[in-house]
Amino acid sequence: MLTAITKTGRKVCLGLNFQKETLILLRKKEKFICPICNESVVLKLGDHRIFHFAHINGSQCRNTFENETLEHLEGKRQLFQWLMKQKIPAELEFYDRQIQQRPDIMFKYKGQRYALEFQCSTLPDKIFNKRTHAYLDNGYKPLWIMSGKHIQQRRKDLLALSNFHYSFLRPSSSGRLYIPAYSTEQQLFLLVESITPFSIKNSFVDMSTLPIQSIELNSILEPIKNHSLSLTRWNKEMEKFIFNWALHPNVRNKLFLQEIYHHGLNLFLLPPEIGLPVTHSFLLETPPFIWQTYIFLDLIANKKPGDYITLKEVNASFQKRIYKKQITTRTLPQLRNIQPITAFIEYLQLLEKLKILSRKEDEVNFRLTRMIILPRSNSEREQSKQFFLEKNNHILFR
């Protein structure tokens, strides 16, 4: 812990820059208690760890709140001092008795109350979701910041993201979605933006690194950079992924392959219009080439030019595939107001840009304008892919 109360009622916050000599004198004169459980705590002033307060062994409060690493203590101290330098009202280790939670830092900014959590260790989904929902239900905006050690970038624009990573995905007020992280060693914020997955774990991303000494809070809450994705680059990674995916099929993969073969499709001869990047594809854990194939089979394959694709049909397709566990959605605790079917709608809107579908201004349903042509050979597939990339690369963005 970095915060305690003296027996005389004075609050002592070690997030501030106390000199060791000052704290030694204070420790001689004062006794300290935990502001949560009112039990005695000891002020630790060792040379190899951050100055901190500690419960005695056996304390229930210790078991609940105090199992903190050096990285966690140092991280929340750095973040607290960063907020204080900006004159943002902040309280380190504030305990909200109503919800019985203690964010690392509670602060107020532009009339909004925030709960900042600097998370160094992995946290079970159930606990992450419970804490996040408690904050949201009680007037806080959660600001979960991941330890930078969890960001292992494979290549410049590729990152492996687990469900733990996705729990940190948060919206800005403008609707931008990103994952914030912080490195205590480098004193750098890392913003993972423009997340576009092409498999369950692997995503195209754009990473920004921001030194804590030179940025303000608003740069973390409201990232403003625009990033585009090359369709050629996307297509290259998708083709590699599909090839490797087919080499090691599990039971669910085999069921998918059986269904598409039953409909006369070949995994390696899918048209280039299937397996495209859309902004909210991260809402679905299922790879894009699979769920977009389901859209083709359910909504497009049996239509003729001029036929309508109604929103009722779109929803029925989505719900059917969810029910059969052929599509899996992600649990994203900080994105309550975004429905997973959004990815389906965005894909249809993309097909509208490609002039495969159309809508009049006053229409909500889509109309099939032209058929998606299925290649019959590898050479046809290559020709259609090259033509597609040359014609459409400029209109496809994250």
Confidence tier at 24 by pLDDT (50, 70, 90): confident
Confidence band of 350 (pLDDT split at 50, 70, 90): very high
Q: Specify the pTM.
A: 0.87
- Which of 13, 27, 26 lies closest to 94, judged by CA? 13
Q: Tell me which of 81 and 30 has the higher pLDDT.
A: 81
Q: Which fold has domain 70-221?
A: Trna Endonuclease; Chain: A, domain 1 (3.40.1350)
What's the average model confidence in pLDDT over 63-82? 80
Q: Can you say whether the dihedral through the CA atoms of 131, 112, 105, 91 is positive or negative?
A: negative
Task: Work out the average pLDDT over 113-122.
Answer: 94
Residues 353 and 283: their CA atoms lie apart, in Å, by: 22
Name the pairing type of β-strands 177-183 and 140-147.
parallel
**Per-residue confidence at 12, pLDDT binned at 50, 70, 90?**
confident
In this predicted model, what pLDDT tens digit does every residue of 234-270 receive, in sequence order? 999 999 999 999 888 788 888 999 999 999 999 999 9
Question: Looking at the predicted structure, is the pLDDT value of residue 295 above 90?
Answer: yes
**pLDDT at res. 27:** 79
Share of the chain above pLDDT 70, in %: 96
pLDDT confidence bin for 31, thresholds 50/70/90? confident
Residue of 144, 149, 164 lying closest to 101 (CA atoms): 144
Closest CA to 118 of 90, 138, 155: 90
pLDDT value at 56 more than 90: no
Would you kindly state where each structural domain of the chain is located, as residue ranges?
3-65, 70-221, 231-395
Angle at 394 between CA 365 and CA 373, to 5 degrees: 55
Predicted local confidence at residue 395, as pLDDT = 67
From the list 104, 108, 112, 54, the residue with the least C-alpha distance to 78 is 104
- pLDDT higher than 80, residue 124: yes
Provide the pLDDT for residue 64: 56
162-199: pLDDT as tens digits? 999 999 999 998 888 999 999 999 999 999 999 999 99
- Predicted confidence at residue 62, as pLDDT, reads 56
For the segment 93-112, the average pLDDT, to the nearest whole number, is 91
Contacts with 262 (C-beta within 8 Å, 6 or more apart), sequence order? none
> 202-211 and 158-160: which strand pairing?
antiparallel
Q: What is the pLDDT of residues 263-293, one digit of tens each?
A: 999 999 999 999 999 999 999 999 999 999 9
How much is the pLDDT for 163? Answer: 93
Q: Across the chain, what does the average pLDDT equal?
A: 89
Which pLDDT does position 387 carry in this prediction? Answer: 92
Residue-level pLDDT at 47: 67
Interval 137-160 mean pLDDT:
91
| Residue 227, pLDDT score | 77
Please report which confidence band the pLDDT of residue 156 belongs to, taking 50, 70 and 90 as the band edges.
confident
* Residue 17 binned pLDDT confidence (cut-offs 50, 70, 90): confident
Mean pLDDT on 334-343: 93
Q: How confident is the model at residue 397 (pLDDT cuts 50, 70, 90)?
A: low
